[in-house]
Structure 1
Amino acid sequence: MSCFETIQAYGLRSLGIGERLLPREGYDLCQQFTLIGSGLIWNVYFAAIALALGFALATLLAVGKRARSAWIRKPCDWFVFIFRGSPLFIQFFVAYQLLVLLPRDGVTLPLGLFDLHVGTDWVTRAWAGAALVLFFNTAAYTAEIFLGALRSIPRGDLEAAEAYGITGWQRFRRIQWPTMLRLAWPAYTNEAIFLFHATTLVFFSGFPAFQQRGDALYYASYFAGRTFNPFVPYPIVAFYFICLTLVLTWTFGRIGRRLNRHLPTNETRRRRPRILPQIIR
C-alpha cells in the first residue's frame, strides 16, 4: 500500500471513515503519521469544545466571584477552588465513576404536561464525558485569570464611565469586558496551549475509546506496543502538538493585536534613526 493509499484509508479513521481495522503489519512512518494525525482530530475537538464553552463559563464565574451576594460568590469560589485544587487526572476518573452510576435506561423528568426522557449512556463516552471535565477545568483556571484582569482595570476608566452615565450592564459590556480581555489575553493564551496539551490525558482516563477511535496518544501507544519502539510514535505526537502550538500562538497573537489595536505598537513608535557624528573628546 502506497503512502497516498494509506492516507486515503486511515486519514479519517478516528471519525469512522475509511478502514475499520488497524494495520497489522508494516507499521511504516506513513502509517504512523497518518493514524496519529487522524487521532489528533479528537484532541482538537476536546480543546475546541472546552475553550469555547469554558470561556463563557469563566466570564460568569469571574463576575460571580466579585458579586456582593454570598449566595452567588460562595458557589463560584468553591467551584474554582475544587477544579483548581484537584489534579486533572483525578477529575477524569472521578467524573467517569460518577457518570457510570447514572441509570443505564436513562432519567425521566416529569414536566407536568409530559415526561421528558433523557438517555444517559452517552455521558460515559470520551467525546462527552472527557469534554465535560476539560470544560469545567479550563473554566476554573480561566476564571481566576479573568478575575485578576477585572481587578486590574484602572479605576479612572470606571470613573470616566460613570461620569458619562455609563453604568450597569452597559459599563461591563463597553468598558470592563473589553479591558478585561486585553489584560488577560497573554495569560489566557498560555491556558489555551496548556489545555491542548492536557487533552492527551484523555487516553489515560477511565473513558474508553469507542470502536478503536481514539485520540493521537491512543494510536501512538498502539504503534509503540506493536513495534516495541516508543521513540518513533511519541515524537510524532510531540511534533503534531508543536505544530498546534505554533498555530495557536499565531491565532491568539492576531486576536491580541486586534484587541489592542488602539494602543501604539513598537512599529508606530519606531522613528527614523538620526546619524550623529561621533564626538571625540
Structure 2
Amino acid sequence: MTCWETVQAYGLRSLGYGERLLPREGYDLCQQFTLIGSGLIWNIYFGVLALAAGFFLAIGLALAKGSSRLWLRKPADWFVFVFRGSPLFIQFFLAYQLLVLLPRDGIQLPLGLFTLTIGTDWVTKAWAGALLVLFLNTAAYSAEIFLGALRSIPKGDLEAADAYGLTGWKKFRRIQWPTMLRLAWPAYTNEAIFLFHATTLVFFSGFPAFQQRGDALYYASFFAGKTFNPFVSYPIVAFYFICLTLILIWLFGRVNARLNRHVPSNARVRRARLLPQIVR
C-alpha cells in the first residue's frame, strides 16, 4: 500500500470513514502520521466546541462572582472552586460513572396529557459526555481570568461612564465588556492552548473509544504498543500539537490586535530616522 493509498484508507478513520480495522503490519511513518492526524480531528472537535460554549458560561460566572448578591455569588464560587480544585482526569472518570447510572430507557417526564421521554443513551458517548466535562472545566478557569480583568478595569473609565449617565447593561456593553476582553485576552489565549492539550485525556479516562476511533494520543499509544518504540509516535503527536498551537496563537493574536487597535502602543512603528540635530 502506497502512502497516498494509506491516506485515502485511514485519513478519516476516526470519523468512521475508510478502513474499519487498524493496520496489522508495516507501521511505517506514513501510517503513523495519517492515523494520528486523523485522531487529531477529535481533539479539534473537543477544543473548539468546549472553548466556544465555555466562553459565554465563563462570562456569566465572572459576573456572578463579582456580584453583590449572595445567591448569585456563592453558587458561582463553589462551581469554580470544584472544577479548579479537582484534576481533570478525575472529572472525566466521575462524570462517566455518573452518566452511566442514568436510565438506559431515558428519563420520563409526565406532562399531563402525555409523557415526554428524554433519551440518555447518548450522554455516555465521548462526543457528548467528555465535551460536557471540558466545557465546564474551561468555563471555571476562564471565569477567574475574566473576573480578574473585570476588577482591573481602570476606575477612571467607570467614573467617566457614570458621568455620561451610562448605567446597567449599557455601561457593561460599552465600557466594561470591551475593556475586560482586552485585559483578559492574553491569559485567555493560554487557557485555550491548555484546553486543546487537555483533550488528549478524553480516551484515557472513563469514556471508551467506539470501534477504536480515538484521538491523536489514542493512535499514538497504539503504535507505541505495537512497535515497542514510543520515540516515533509520541513526537508525531507533539509535532501536530505544536502546529495546532501556532495556529491558535495566530488566530488569538489577530483577535487581540483587533481588541487593541485603538491603543497607541499597538500603532505601527515608524522606521528609525537619523536626526542630525540630536546627534552629538
**Which TM bucket (shorter chain)?**
over 0.9
Structure 2 counterpart of 1:184: 184
One-letter amino acid of the counterpart of residue 98, structure 2: L
Alignment of 1:126-275 (within 5 A): 126-265=126-265, 267-270=267-270, 272-275=272-275
Root-mean-square deviation (CA, aligned residues, Å) is 1.3
One-letter amino acid of the counterpart of residue 194, structure 2: F
Question: Cα 1:25–1:101, aligned 2, differ >3 Å: closer, same or farther?
Answer: same
Aligned-pair distance for 1:57?
A: 0.2
Q: How many residues align?
A: 279
Question: Cα 1:278–1:236, aligned 2, differ >3 Å: closer, same or farther?
Answer: same
Q: Distance in 2 between matches of 1:257 and 1:110?
A: 52
| TM-score, length of structure 1 as denominator length | 0.96
Q: Distance in 2 between matches of 1:113 and 1:265?
A: 65
Alignment of 1:62-73 (within 5 A): 62-73=62-73
SS in 2 for 1:108: strand
Native 8 Å contact 2:158 2:175 kept in 1:
yes
Alignment of 1:100-111 (within 5 A): 100-111=100-111
Structure 1 counterpart of 2:17: 17
One-letter amino acid of the counterpart of residue 42, structure 1: W
Q: Distance in 1 between matches of 2:268 and 2:30?
A: 47
Give the stretch that moved more between structures: 239-248 or 92-101.
92-101
Q: Distance in 2 between matches of 1:71 and 1:221?
A: 46
Structure 2 counterpart of 1:41: 41
Aligned-pair distance for 1:122?
A: 1.1
Q: Distance in 2 between matches of 1:257 and 1:236?
A: 32
Alignment of 1:108-123 (within 5 A): 108-123=108-123
Aligned-pair distance for 1:267?
A: 5.0
Question: Cα 1:164–1:105, aligned 2, differ >3 Å: closer, same or farther?
Answer: same
SS in 2 for 1:232: helix
Structure 2 counterpart of 1:80: 80
Cα deviations across residues 135-170 of structure 1 (Å, max 9, x unaligned)? 000000000000000000111111111221211111
Q: Distance in 2 between matches of 1:265 and 1:162?
A: 27
SS in 2 for 1:265: helix
Cα deviations across residues 92-150 of structure 1 (Å, max 9, x unaligned)? 11111111111111111223343221111111111111111110000000000000000
- The runs of 5 or more residues in structure 2 that have no matched partner are none
SS in 1 for 2:208: coil
Native 8 Å contact 2:261 2:267 kept in 1:
no
Q: Distance in 1 between matches of 2:246 and 2:63?
A: 31
- The runs of 5 or more residues in structure 1 that have no matched partner are none
SS in 1 for 2:210: coil
Structure 1 counterpart of 2:50: 50
Aligned-pair distance for 1:266?
A: 5.3
Question: Cα 1:70–1:113, aligned 2, differ >3 Å: closer, same or farther?
Answer: farther
Q: Distance in 1 between matches of 2:110 and 2:88?
A: 35
SS in 2 for 1:240: helix
Instruction: Using the aligned pairs only, state the percent identity.
Output: 79
Native 8 Å contact 2:8 2:18 kept in 1:
yes
Native 8 Å contact 2:260 2:266 kept in 1:
no
Q: Distance in 1 between matches of 2:198 and 2:111?
A: 39
| TM-score, length of structure 2 as denominator length | 0.96
SS in 1 for 2:229: coil
SS in 2 for 1:117: strand
Native 8 Å contact 2:257 2:266 kept in 1:
no
Aligned-pair distance for 1:271?
A: 5.4
Q: Distance in 1 between matches of 2:267 and 2:165?
A: 36
Cα deviations across residues 220-264 of structure 1 (Å, max 9, x unaligned)? 111111111111100000000000000000000000000111112
Q: Distance in 2 between matches of 1:266 and 1:182?
A: 12
